[in-house]
């Protein structure tokens, strides 16, 4: 199913939740740039006004990589709503990202 076949949530889809997201990247790499672009598109399409996004460059803040126990980048951490989830990669598979965020049921 293509991204266009995934309907964005509507106000009547239930209680809106606020999402707290952290995206860890490695400088201005191609994968980092794609992850930022893809995540911004997903958030604006499926979570407009319902999220905060912090982008952290581990090259600029190396101590964070150790504190967060990062082992692969780019890495998205959904901190809220619980449970916390981690998604690795450039976030180009919209369906997988939505599942990881808990916005699509896991039907598999």
Structural domain span for residue 30:
19-100
In a domain, 24, yes or no: yes
In a domain, 13, yes or no: no
In a domain, 81, yes or no: yes
Q: Which one, of 92, 73, 94, lies nearest residue 22 by Cα?
A: 73
In a domain, 107, yes or no: no
In a domain, 90, yes or no: yes
In a domain, 86, yes or no: yes
How many structural domains compose the chain?
A: 1
In a domain, 61, yes or no: yes
In a domain, 85, yes or no: yes
Residue 8 DSSP one-character state: P
Tell me the CATH number at 85. 3.40.30.10
**What are the pLDDT tens digits along the chain (108 aa)?**
445 556 555 444 445 799 999 999 999 899 999 999 999 999 999 999 999 999 999 989 888 878 888 888 999 999 999 999 999 999 999 999 999 999 987 655
Q: What predicted TM-score, i.e. pTM, was given to this entire model?
A: 0.82
* 59-87: b (≥16 Cβ within 10 Å) or e: eeeeeebeeeebeebbbbbbeeeeeeebb
């Amino acid at each position: 199913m293509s991204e266009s076949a995934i309907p964005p949530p509507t106000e009547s889809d239930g209680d809106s939740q606020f999402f707290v997201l952290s995206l860890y990247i490695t400088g201005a790499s191609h994968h980092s740039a794609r992850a930022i672009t893809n995540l911004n598109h997903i958030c604006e399409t499926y979570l407009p006004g319902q999220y905060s996004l912090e982008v952290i460059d581990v090259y600029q803040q190396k101590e964070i990589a150790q504190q967060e126990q990062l082992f692969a980048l780019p890495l998205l951490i959904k901190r809220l709503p619980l449970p916390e989830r981690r998604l690795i990669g450039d976030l180009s598979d919209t369906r997988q990202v939505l599942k990881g965020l808990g916005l699509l049921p896991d039907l598999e």
